[in-house]
Structures are given as structure tokens and as C-alpha cells.
Amino acid sequence: MSQFEYFAPCHFGLESVLKKEIEDLGYQVIQVEDGRVTFSGDEAAICRTNIFLRTTERILLKIAKFKAETFDELFEKTKAIPWEDFIPSNGKFWVAKATSIKSKVFSPSDIQSIMKKAMVERLKQVYKIDWFPEDGEAYPIRVTFMKDEVTIGIDTSGESLHRRGYRKLTSKAPITETLAAALIMLTPWNKDRILIDPFCGSGTIPIEAAMIGANIAPGMNRSFLSEDWTGLIPKKAWYSAIEEANDVKRQGVEMTIQGFDLDGEIIKAARQNAALAEVDEYIHFQQKAVSDLSHSKKYGFIITNPPYGERLEEKEALPALYKEIGKAFSSLDAWSYYIITSYEEAQKYIGRKADKNRKIYNGMMKTYFYQFMGPRPPKKAPREQEDNSL
């Protein structure tokens, strides 16, 4: 099989989580940059990474990287790329997205137009045709300019990978599935520990935790744009990746995961979403206020996304809400709790300084992942060996 380079975008601040995921799948990481991890793999990597990775937004097949300071330079270097190695004569191709940061070439619409013209010129010469029907498979191009360095990739995913297919109903400001999974993976939580989300909304954090605990691949129940690329990826590679996902899925897992919210209707939605994700057996959802939070067992985990207070009237209510959060959490003996919020005074009103604080950009919004560590549970005593000697 041929070897290619791929790059996977993620939320700024979560690159280390994505890097570990890629390495755990057996692929070599080439470079880690702000919001992006580049790695190498064969054709089957397109299938496996789209199906298995929990924390990236999409997988892009890297086509070229070069420097361009003018539109003429961009045109000529784009035209020099062997597009025919990837796009068939009837392929549908366009520059779906262009971004430019600290670069001399900065107009996204002009970048898109010039690159499309350059691609057409190249493919006209190769295929000896003047007009392209573009009625075949889709090959959306994404390009990024960073300090005049251009990175070009073909999107293999199509719809963003945070769209797992289970979340049909959402709350007002839902956390994305990819971000929820990354937050869980930043903690020491595992399927043998209790997990509660007291602001669960449509259930994303509990559902992602259950999928991690049962080792359910996030892309099992959706399709990907590159499934139609029969010239590049053999169909058997997709069948093999799905078979692998089914083989590693854990059956009969015992987990204690709970999701609470004040809104009874959104709790109903969370239950429906969990059923669609096929993890409803692992999660207990209930209408409950954070002030009523309690648990008899020790060493559990809170992972939650409470209100940020984006509107003025909501912001005014935040001090009282975060005081309530602090009071509720302090009553949970020996628990660890993890909170993502853009509210900069969260620690003040919770009444405790976080042991760790990680900055994560949720889109353009700067958020803080406050990590309050509880003690580790005592190690279980090893079982005594039975004396089977005669």
C-alpha cells in the first residue's frame, strides 16, 4: 500500500489528546501544531481514523505544502500539483474553505477562485478535455495560509466528525461531541469509576463517556465522503475497519454514569440521544438541580459544562450559580471534579483554586478546563492464590 500524509484539526489546547489517539491507532505522528496534528499512514488510515478518532473534526489527505506570497505564485504552485493522482476526470472538485493568518495572500474568496482555475488548467492538460462534468465523487479542498506557508488537503470526512449521528435533539448551548470526548480523556476517569454530569443538557458528556467505556468507535453509525473514492480506497478497507470496530467493542460492561439537569424536557432528549448511540443501558438520566447533588460512594468524577453566562442577564446570575456548584461539590467526599467554562471568576465563587487549569479554545471562545483533583482510591488487595497443589 502507498504511504500518505494526513492532517487532523482539533480544538486549540487539545493537540496532545489527539496525538495520543493517533499513536494508539498505530500511526506515526510527524508534526504537532496549534490546532492540528500531521501523521503518516496508508490508504486504510482514511477509514480507520475517520471511524476511530474521537477528538478530531475531520481527516484531510495532505496534497501539498509550499510558500506563496502572491496570487501568481499560488496559481503556478497549485497547477504544479499532480491532481490527477487523486481526482478522476468526472470528479467534483472545489476549494470548500480557505483561511489565511498572518499572510500576504489573505482574501479567502480570491484564494478559492485562483486555486480552482489552477486545478482546472492542470486537469485539462492531463485529461485532454476542455470541460469537466463534475458529476462523480466529491473532492472538497481545504487550504490554510499561515505566515505565507500554504497547506492543502482533500477532506475525506465530509460532514464534521463531531456529528456522530446520535444527537438529534440538543440543548441551548451544547458542547460538541469531539470536545466532550477530549475533556473526558484529559482526566483519569475509566469505566470502573463513577461519573456524574450535573449540567448534562442533551447528554453529550455522559454519552461520550459511555462510548469510551464500552470502546464503541464514534464513527460506526455514520457515513464518510471518501467512501465513494473507489479509485483511491478499496471497499474492503472500509469493511475491514468496521469489522475491527465491532471486534473491539466491549459487551456487558458495568458502568455508573449519571446525567442531571433542571430541564425535564432536555432530560427526555438526552435519553433519546443515548438510545440512538446504543449506550442508554449504561446511563441514568434524571431531572435534578446541582444543589441536590449527593452520593454515598467515594472517589467519583464530576465532568461538566455549566452555563457560561453569554447574555447579560445570565452573567449576573453566575456568582450565585458557581457558589452553589462549589457547595455541592464540596459535599462529595474524595471526589474529583472537572469544569469547562469561559467564566473567569469560576474558582473565586467555587471557593477553591483548581489544581490544574487548561486553556481550550471552543471555536473563537477562550474557555478554561478547571481540574480539581481528589485523592486516588486505595489499591485493591490482590486476591489470594488458591492452593491447587495436591
The model's pLDDT over 111-126, given as tens digits with 9 standing for 90+, comes to 999 999 999 999 999 9
The confidence band for 1, taking pLDDT boundaries of 50, 70 and 90, is low
**Is 148 in the same domain as 198?**
no
Note the pTM of the prediction, 2 decimals.
0.94
In a domain, 379, yes or no: no
C-alpha 370/C-alpha 372 separation (Å) is 7
State the pLDDT at residue 364.
Answer: 83
CATH classification of the domain holding 80: 3.30.2130.30
Count of the separate structural domains present in the chain: 2
Cβ distance 158 to 181 under 8 Å? no
What pLDDT is stored for residue 380 in this prediction? 75
Are residues 118 and 185 part of one domain?
A: no
Cα separation of 271 and 286, whole Å? 9
Q: What is the mean pLDDT of residues 278-298?
A: 96
Question: Which of 36-50, 214-228, 310-324, 372-386 shows the lowest per-residue confidence on average (mean pLDDT)?
Answer: 372-386
Q: Return the pLDDT at 387.
A: 43
Q: Are residues 209 and 268 in the same domain?
A: yes
Does the pLDDT of residue 311 top 90, yes or no? no
Question: What local confidence, expressed as pLDDT, does residue 172 receive?
Answer: 66
State how far the Cα of 144 lies from the Cα of 113, in Å rounded to an integer.
14
What CATH number does residue 281 fall under?
3.40.50.150
Q: Are residues 47 and 95 in the same domain?
A: yes
Q: Residue 383: what pLDDT? A: 54
Statement: residue 390 has pLDDT above 60: no
126: cell is 492531463
Instruction: Confirm whether 256 is domain-assigned.
Output: yes
| Mean per-residue pLDDT, 309-322 | 80
pLDDT at site 174: 79
Q: What are the pLDDT digits (tens) for 152-202?
A: 999 999 999 999 999 887 766 679 999 999 999 999 999 999 999 999 999
The verdict on residue 168 lying in a domain is no
Residues 157, 229 contacting (CB under 8 angstroms): no
Quick check: is 384 in a domain?
no
Domain range enclosing 150 = 4-155
Confidence of residue 363 (pLDDT cuts 50, 70, 90): confident
Whether 388 has a pLDDT exceeding 50, the answer reads no
Residue 19: inside a domain: yes
Report the half-sphere exposure of 312 (CA within 13 A, side-chain side).
Answer: 0
Residues 280, 210, single domain; the answer is yes
- In angstroms, the CA 372 to CA 218 distance is 28
Residue 312's pLDDT is: 55
Q: Are residues 293 and 357 in the same domain?
A: yes
Average pLDDT of the residues in 35-47: 97
What is the mean predicted confidence (pLDDT) over 127-156?
97
What's the rounded mean pLDDT across residues 373-389? Answer: 67
Question: What pLDDT, on a 0 to 100 scale, did the predictor assign at position 18?
Answer: 98
Regarding whether 182 and 248 lie in a shared domain, the answer is: yes
pLDDT for 2 equals: 86
Summarize the confidence of residues 340-358 as an average pLDDT.
Answer: 96
Would residue 45 count as lying in a domain?
Answer: yes
Q: Tell me what the mean pLDDT of segment 139-151 comes to.
A: 97
pLDDT of residue 381: 62
Position 173 scores a pLDDT of: 65
Answer whether residue 243 is part of any domain: yes
H-state helical runs in the chain:
15-24, 44-52, 71-79, 108-127, 177-185, 204-213, 235-248, 264-276, 312-316, 318-330, 346-350
Average pLDDT score over residue span 367-375: 96
- Does the residue 138 lie in any domain? yes
Cα(156)–Cα(140) distance, integer angstroms: 8
Say yes or no: 272 and 356 in one domain: yes
Question: 80 with 187, same domain?
Answer: no
Whether residues 213 and 358 share a domain: the answer is: yes
**Residues 101, 186 within the same domain:** no
Same domain? For 108 and 22 the reply is: yes
